[in-house]
């Protein structure tokens, strides 16, 4: 193989590419190593759980297809990571916010913790001209990944630069925790009108039981964070009988709804 000269590389380096502007969610499955070990022992069907979660997401997308365009969504799953992208266009950010809230809620219900980040930027995914290998470079993914690295608890951090693209409805999908903006997925499980109290209590009881059985401190902290977040959401609806939830209250976390 004949090498290229410095002058030839200078010309090649200036070759222009068309970059797509995308919204990107990077999601990491927490505790994946332990789940994978159980999977290989035939004690935990990781494939079926993930498949079911995305089946639920796709079903909900079908139900809302007349309202939200999902046709240009791209999903990649590899090992413990999920990448979801939408082109930057009207309605696509709302679609992605809705997707990550449904995925977060479904994962929580099926004993899978996830954390992640959501951002936007230039993006290219293509095959190389000669050797035909897949190539991905993405500002949006890099920024989403950096946000994911900040999230210690099972939550998805939202890039505050996205607020300039928000519709009024989008602000309902996000809350503030201390200095972070996170996806507000609990509303997928906890109805704002309070008409599913028994279901919410059952879900929170299941999480509390897992918490009491867990020996790993870091995992216990994540279960406790979920319980505290759900408790705050229940209380904030002003639609539930809080006497029925008093035994779940442990910590007071600093959550705030966003102003429309």
pLDDT digits 0-9 by tens, 91-118: 899 999 999 999 999 888 888 889 999 9
Q: Smallest Cα–Cα separation from 170: which of 106, 120, 96?
A: 96
Q: Which domains does the chain have, with CATH numbers?
A: 17-188 (3.30.70.1230), 197-252 (no CATH)
- From the number of C-beta atoms within 10 Å of its C-beta (0-12, 13-18, 19+), residue 189 rates as buried
Mean pLDDT of 215-241: 94
How high is the pLDDT of residue 17?
Answer: 83
Please determine, for residue 67, whether its predicted confidence score (pLDDT) is greater than 60: no
Q: Name the CA radius of gyration of the chain, rounded.
A: 21
Q: Under 8 Å CB-to-CB from 152, ≥6 apart: which residues?
A: 115
Q: What is the pLDDT of residue 199?
A: 96
Mean pLDDT across 204-214: 94
78 pLDDT higher than 70: yes
* Alpha-carbon span 75 to 89, nearest angstrom: 17
DSSP H or E stretch at residue 114: strand 113-127
pLDDT of residue 202: 96
Q: How many angstroms separate the CA atoms of 32 and 154, rounded?
A: 13
d(CA 228, CA 73): 32
In the predicted model, what is the mean pLDDT of the chain? 89
Q: What percent of the chain has pLDDT over 90?
A: 58
Most confident of 49-53, 144-148, 216-220, 256-260: 144-148
With H, G, I as helix, E, B as strand and everything else as coil, classify residue 57.
helix
- pTM recorded for the entire structure: 0.88
d(CA 154, CA 84): 18
User: So what's the pLDDT on residue 64?
Assistant: 55
Whole-number Cα distances in Å, 115 to 3, 9, 18? 44, 40, 31
Write out the two tokens for 116: 């992640």
Other CB atoms within a 10 A radius of the CB of residue 82 amount to 22
- The model's pLDDT over 115-161, given as tens digits with 9 standing for 90+, comes to 999 999 999 888 877 777 888 889 999 999 999 999 999 999 999 99
- pLDDT for 131 equals 79
Q: Is the pLDDT of residue 87 over 60?
A: yes
What is the pLDDT, as a whole number, of residue 65?
55
Q: State residue 15's pLDDT score.
A: 85
């Amino acid at each position: 193989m004949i090498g290229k000269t410095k002058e030839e590389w200078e010309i090649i380096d200036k070759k222009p590419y068309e970059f797509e502007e995308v919204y990107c969610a990077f999601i990491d499955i927490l505790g994946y190593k332990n789940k994978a070990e159980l999977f290989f022992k035939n004690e935990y069907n990781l494939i079926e759980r993930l498949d079911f979660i995305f089946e639920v997401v796709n079903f909900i997308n079908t139900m809302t297809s007349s309202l939200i365009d999902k046709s240009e969504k791209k999903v990649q799953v590899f090992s413990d990571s999920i990448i979801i992208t939408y082109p930057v266009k009207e309605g696509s950010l709302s679609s992605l916010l809705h997707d990550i809230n449904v995925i977060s809620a479904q994962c929580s219900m099926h004993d899978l913790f996830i954390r992640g980040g959501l951002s936007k930027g230039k993006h290219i995914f293509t095959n190389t001209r000669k050797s035909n290998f897949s190539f991905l470079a993405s500002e949006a993914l890099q920024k989403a990944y950096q946000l994911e690295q900040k999230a210690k608890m099972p939550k998805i951090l939202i890039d505050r630069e996205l607020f300039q693209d928000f519709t009024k409805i989008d602000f309902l999908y996000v809350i503030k925790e201390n200095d972070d903006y996170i996806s507000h997925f609990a509303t997928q499980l906890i109805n704002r009108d309070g008409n599913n109290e028994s279901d919410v209590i059952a879900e929170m009881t299941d999480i509390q039981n897992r918490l009491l059985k867990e020996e790993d401190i870091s995992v216990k902290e994540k279960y406790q964070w979920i319980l505290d977040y759900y408790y705050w959401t229940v209380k904030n609806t002003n639609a539930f009988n809080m006497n029925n939830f008093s035994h779940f209250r442990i910590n007071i976390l600093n959550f705030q709804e966003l102003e429309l």
